[in-house]
Amino acid sequence: LTSFFSPQDNITMGHILATMPFGMSVVIITLKGSELRSMFEHSVSEYSFEKRQGQFLQVSGIRVTYNLRNPPKCRVVLLQVLCRRCKVPRYEPVNDTGVYRIVTTDYITKGGDGYPKATNATTGGPADYSVLVDHIKKMTPVKSAIEARITLLNGSEPVMIPGDPVTNPLFREKKNRMKDYFQVP
């Protein structure tokens, strides 16, 4: 994702293309839980608030907690997936030997941002922005909620999310809605 838009905005194709400008194909990969965990470790292996890396994964149906004080490759402290077979939605811990089907983009599965190349990814899926357009059409009006999908810990110190008008005074006047995507305990 390269930008965000405010929930007050009328969403236009311009907003969508500014957010997803590359037209990547949506694909499905099957991963063991240990491989999924490795992807999330890679997601924050070089992460800092001053230099946000493009490899930072955005998620749906997953909850992940990172401790940024831990060394790289040891930062995932909680990884859960939304139970698909449960009548009442709930999150369950990722089992390292379990098998998970994940929807992502071909950019990731082809080794973009340093992720390992996937050998079992589907090909020829729709463009990411067209999937978003279809979703918005089906779900209009779109309602956003703070879902606590991603939690960043930094020891006992509070974490400031760049671009978050709640925690960063430089962005209080902007409409950036990063707080809709991150939880800071």
What are the strands of the beta sheet with 62-67, ordered from one edge? 91-93, 76-82, 62-67, 150-153
Give the Cα separation of 173 and 185 in Å (integer). Answer: 23
The CATH number of residue 82's host domain is 3.90.780.10
* pTM of the complete model: 0.77
Is 167 a member of any domain?
yes
Is 150 a member of any domain?
yes
pLDDT value at residue 120:
92
> Per-residue pLDDT tens for 20-60?
888 899 999 999 999 999 999 999 998 876 777 778 898 99
Is 143 a member of any domain?
yes
Instruction: Enter the DSSP assignment of 25.
Output: B
